[in-house]
Amino acid sequence: MSDKYKTTVSIDIEIDENLVGGVVIKEGDKVIDLSIKARVNELGSQLSVAH
């Protein structure tokens, strides 16, 4: 990643047991949420809109 972004890259790893599984990637103000918790929440929102 350092080569791609031409800067020093540091990775901080945190364990969040509330995620159930998956990963959340944060870079500055950007967030990529690939957690199972986010998918379940998204599905719940879609189901509540369908009613």
The pLDDT of residue 51 is above 80: no
Residue 32, both tokens? 């990529």
- pLDDT per residue over 1-40, tens digit each? 788 878 888 888 999 888 889 999 988 899 999 999 999 9
Burial of 38 (0-12, 13-18, 19+ CB in 10 A): middle
Which pair of structure tokens corresponds to residue 19?
Answer: 């995620």
Check residue 34 and give its pLDDT: 94
Q: Is 24 helix (H, G, I), strand (E, B) or coil?
A: strand
Q: What is the pLDDT of residue 18?
A: 85
Report the predicted TM-score, pTM, of the whole model to 2 decimal places.
0.64
The pair of structure tokens assigned to 28 is: 């500055």
Tokens 């500055």, located at residue: 28
Q: Say whether 39 sits in a helix, a strand or coil.
A: helix
- Give the 3-state secondary structure of residue 44: helix
